Structure 1
Amino acid sequence: MLQVQEQALFEWQVLTYEIPQALEFIEKNGHKFLEATPQEVEDLRYELDIHHCGDNPRDPSETIYKVPWNKAPISDQDIVLHHGFCYIRASEIKRVLPSLYYSHMLNARNNDIYEIVDNTALDEDQTIILRSSLVMALERKHLSTNRLKFNMDKIASEIWMFPPCFRLIHDHLNDVHHLKHFSRMQYYDILHGVNADCAKVERYMYSQFVEQGRVPLKKYGSYKYFIEHRFGKRGSCIEYSTPDCRVYAQTVKNQGECNGCPFSKNSAIDIEELGAKLTEWNCPDDGRFFSNFI
């Protein structure tokens, strides 16, 4: 609660800043956003005009800043997203400050978690819970240590460390050697969230789809594209995050899709079988309530 109050106070303070004050504050805290080149502004002129929110026409001489997409909390109608950057008018730049503050607080909290991991001996049950809680943290930070990077080559032996939803999708993949589009995106997002290597994920999916004869080689190119796209390597180069599991549960609509959630009405597991399944996976009784939030 105190952190929420501090953030609200910070937002109230910085929104009173003038543009020079906001830019000075950003630079003092180790950030320096590039200005868009005249050619970029010209190429995006139409989009910038559409996204201009104001009664008067957009000032063509106003400086446009390129802010990495993950540092811009501004709603879609106020920005232009292009090649991984948000093109933000100088008059709106101070609205980036609350996001930088939140990122700083989040990284400080995650660093505390990593320090606990490095200095605490965990049993397998504790590791299951910890791995699940780190999915959201790992998506926001490229770790310098290999200790918390998931090795795709060991997925068969380390699948026990993943949350139930991922394990059920993985079981389905191994059973039929194919996943429908939405299920694949969820599978890639979770692997990206635990810092798996994109190239190794692609090789693994090739072995499942093509080598098992479920996807013709000539069609595999589109499958490979979406793997690289979810990892921020292709297209708009956005690194997709691992959303709250409720996002997956609420958006599964197509027949044959599998969101893996054992608590969802879309799950293939009957509720009577759920306890036995979690016991088979060695999920501790006192930790099973975490599964609702993984």
Structure 2
Amino acid sequence: MIRQEFSRADPKRRTALDPKKRQFAPATFQNVEYKHRLNFYVTPPTADITLEQFEQWAIDRLRVLAEIEACSFRNKNLTETAAHMKPLLDKYLPLTSSTSNSAATQIERQKDHYSHFILRLAFASTEDLRRRFSRAETTLFRIRFQDNDSRERQKFVEGLNLDLEIVSDEERREYAEELRAAGGGFPKRIEEESYYKVDWEKVPELIEHRRVFLKGGKAYVPGREQLSMVIAEFTNKLDKALETTSRALPRLDEDDRLSPILTHLSQNFTTPDANYSSSSTSLPGADISARNIDTLSSSFPLCMQNLHRSLRRDAHLKHFGRLQYSLFLKGIGLNLEECLVFWRGAFNKITDDTFNKEYRYNVRHVYGDVGGDSNRRGNGYSPFSCQKILTEHPPGPGEAHGCPYRHFSIDNLTALLQQVGVKDHEVLKGVKEDKEKQKFHLACNRVFEYAHKQEIKKVRDDGTWGAAQLETIVHPNEYFKRSYLLKNLGKNPTDGGGDVKMED
């Protein structure tokens, strides 16, 4: 006899989806029409994008947020930050106005929408990352709000439904003196200004600076202070959303496509990574030769100056030191033949036979002259970025590679900085504070700005360089290029005359 098993579940009831299992239901994707340039990022995006877009959009936004944070650590006010960020926003995260009728408007706003939510995933894991992300995003929103067309801005605010209660004419007259006092005597005629009543918790900035009248738990906010109300609402919503996102993160651990990308992005908020490009860091015509490395080393970042000084002192570097330094020299334009000449001359305590047997092959491999097919096709390895130097292969005893700002004790770091000419007490104090806060790239940029303060002032004053050409340095080879160009202002690397202009 064949037994048949029957389900006791009613077939008609199986079509009803268990609410606990709704998260596994087929997702519904839809494209969003972006009516406004500004965005409160309330609704998560649902349309398909590629993994390449996912990562590149996030990296572009990360560059913007990291630079905003750098402006904060340099104590730039909002006006200075906005001016500094404008070319960077135009480059990495442009947002044209609705009146421009640009075909790229929706694509730009989609990138802005998606990149925010991608980084929200990346930075929701810890309280420190959430706080820093919220602060940088709030500053970005504030810059955009103030830069927005007034009519577009008003339409956006009207669509927010901020639950603002308009203060009646009777109340304005009743509290006219208090309202005028809170406004510093402005307006002289109280009927010239509109006022809103909001819960006092929503406008902490205005209360802190005593710019509103408080009564019965309500803040009487003048219309001219609309920005503070909108900013407070933006920050409040974002902070709550980040808390919610942090609780949902464990569900993403099983996705082996996204988790590595998100981890990489969150690590890079300490020091944003930089894609190396030989064309963007090259100096055609400059004397990049073995005989000139000692002279050029004055323009090297501290990590490479430390390697160079150690090499000259000991006539030797261990493996990772040779690798880090060889890749850097390759990146500044030292060709293979000259690099071999340089290393042979530097290793002056060994014989030619020892050098050829133990070291020559490694230098050729770095340049892609020998090794696997993929290595040769790619012309060898790329120079290490600051992020890679900071996070991979920390130096051990007798090793000189790595980042001095991270891997040195504060006493050894201070001594090295003084040896290379940084003796200003305030600069050294600032570097110490940056190191304590683990802002290693800001310490490096602080030293760069001190060493080139006169040249930087000149190119800013005469408009030769814009903010995009003076953004935070995140690659040793970019440090060298920028230093070389600043130190050789007015000289052409080819013939010693003419202007030197930095590439974007």
Question: What's the TM-score, normalizing by structure 2?
Answer: 0.29
Q: Which of structures 1 and 2 has the larger relative contact order (alpha carbons within 8 angstroms, sep 6+)?
A: 1
